Structure 1
Amino acid sequence: MDKEVFMKNKKKIIIVVAAIAVSLIGFSLLNSTYSLFYHEETSKNTEGYSTGTLSITASSKGSTISLSDALPVEDSVGSTSTPYTFTITNTGNLNYKFNIKLLSTGSSSTTIGSQYIKLKVDDGSVTTLSSLSNGIIKKDVTLAAGESIDISVRVWLSISTPNSQIGKTFNSKIVIDGQAVYTETKEYTISYDLNGGTSSTPEPQKKLKGEAITLSNVTPTRSNYTFLGWSTTKNATTATYSAGELFTIDANTTLYAIWQKAGTVVEAYSVVLQKNVSGTITQMTSKSIAPTLAFAYSFTASTLSNSYKPSSISCTNNQVATLEFNGEVSGLKNMQNVTAKINSVTSSTVCTILYSKGDVS
């Protein structure tokens, strides 16, 4: 029986997949299973999230657990017995993350001790029910929308089960509980301010969270001024972004045109060097460089394949920069020397080193 309930600020799903009954009467072990489906769903449905029908279904592939011996058995026998199997299917359009539990439903006085219940899930190791935390047999399973997984459970009595357990039963149920994994769909507006310019203002752009957009290629004009680029600060003297550059900030942002008066004698240009590691931008250095002189900045970086390393460099205002990899750092394992260079600085610029995983040379 399915029941969908939509409530704000709650997200939970509980599914009782099947009940497993095991009895120990004399020295005869009786095993039976039956399907019992109970499905309760709760969905968060608030602005800024994509939601849909939340559903995980389970279907039994076998009705009984057959043991090779009617008596308590060795682990080598129980772990190869015919399993109870079931399929979990995510029929919704959201991913699910959940735990799978084996929970006792009987009273303590008539239930076989959990320390004598042995089990094996899928191809995992043999364990006892009493050793499980909250009865969890599989933890933090993530199932993508539209996907299915098969689960197999083997249950048997430990060879060390004492006669004191004769006449008792073990009743249990397999329970799935978890929650939907919601995807935030925030959208930001990137606006332009000519900041004294007289040409047409570029149209605002929309940007989704976590995505990069290409800024407008439109170059604004202003009488007796040279356009240097765009900045998030209205009174900046150097530009942070050039026309057509990638923009990654996740926020509503206004970009201001930055101007330099024509005929201005420049004594030095500002060179700002920053790094972009997985979308996080951090300034590394800022220097004033006389026109046409070279800029160079050396630093160290990891060489490990699973670490972020400098892979490329780009600069605003048509400045051309390169990265040079100068070998391992003396006395430091898995570290290398790197130098960012501009051979001839002809404009104030912001250079960004992109860090990525993989080979950098």
Structure 2
Amino acid sequence: MSTRHDIRAAARLSVAPMMDWSDRHCRYFHRLMSRRALLYTEMVTAPALVRGGAVHLLDYNIEEHPVAVQLGGSDPRELAAATKLCVERGYDEVNLNVGCPSDRVQSGTFGAVLMRDAPLVADCMAAMKDAAQDIEVTVKCRIGVDDQAPDDVLPAFIETVAAAGVTRFTIHARKAWLQGLSPKENRDIPPLDYPLVHRMKEAFPDLHLSINGGITKLDDARAHLDVMDGVMIGRAAYHDPASVLLEADQAIFGDPAPARSAHEVVEAMYPYIEAQLAQGVRLHSITRHMLGVFTGRPGARKWRRILSEGASQDGAGVALLAEALSHVPDHVPAS
């Protein structure tokens, strides 16, 4: 099990918090591919935890460490109470979402809209820091929102929030447009500005800064790590996890242990799946996160089809995965 103090080492490569995707089943699957990368929960709102009592949203498996929880909110006292709940459950880090552009998030006055109110974010982080004891509290933000000028806004935001004691930021290298673009469009349409994020590392050399947005390959991650302290990968780690995570420990962390194959990872999921099924979890809830593991490989389409069609059926279990796996050649000759 990873200990809390190695969180910064793990943050060299992290898998982004992704709503409806990075749940506990997904994280367990990803952890079987990389022992070292930092994994994030989906965003959990502070009101859901503190007012709604939905502490089951914080459930995770001990094997997921190092694992960070991302909170959404804008009330310092409520975020402090939520942070305390996260720390009690043993998370390695508590992160505040200052990047999500969805309407639902805006209506709750959290997410990317908070880029407009750095002093409020600083107050939130100070309260979270007090509640977190020795656990690190961090921020994930954008480079700006709407018609803000990122060259001015981002450094001012970082400076203000860092003054509250925050020493780690993950910066999504795009603006968020709160009006006129959907959350999906906000992940693609605003242009990436990697040079700006790199300049933040020059401007704030004592802070631990990670870069996020549009990074899909380990080679690209390594190039960013020439400048940045960490790289966060989102959708590519979900849709094509094998290409991002299977070699990550070797390529990013210098781990000498050999990487698992995708087949080995699938088979290593069997005991976990059987245990979850015994607790009443549906197979589809787990296998939906595994559909992309053979992306680009012979047999991938058959693998996806068998799982997509069969995993929701009553009684579906590990035998269905074994059948799907039998259609994917174990050793593919180099092309």
* TM score, norm. by length of structure 2: 0.22
Q: Which has the higher contact order (CA 8 A, sep 6+)?
A: 2
Which structure is higher in strand share? 1
Q: Based on CA coordinates, which of the two structures has the bigger radius of gyration?
A: 1
* TM score, norm. by length of structure 1: 0.21
Which structure is higher in helix share? 2
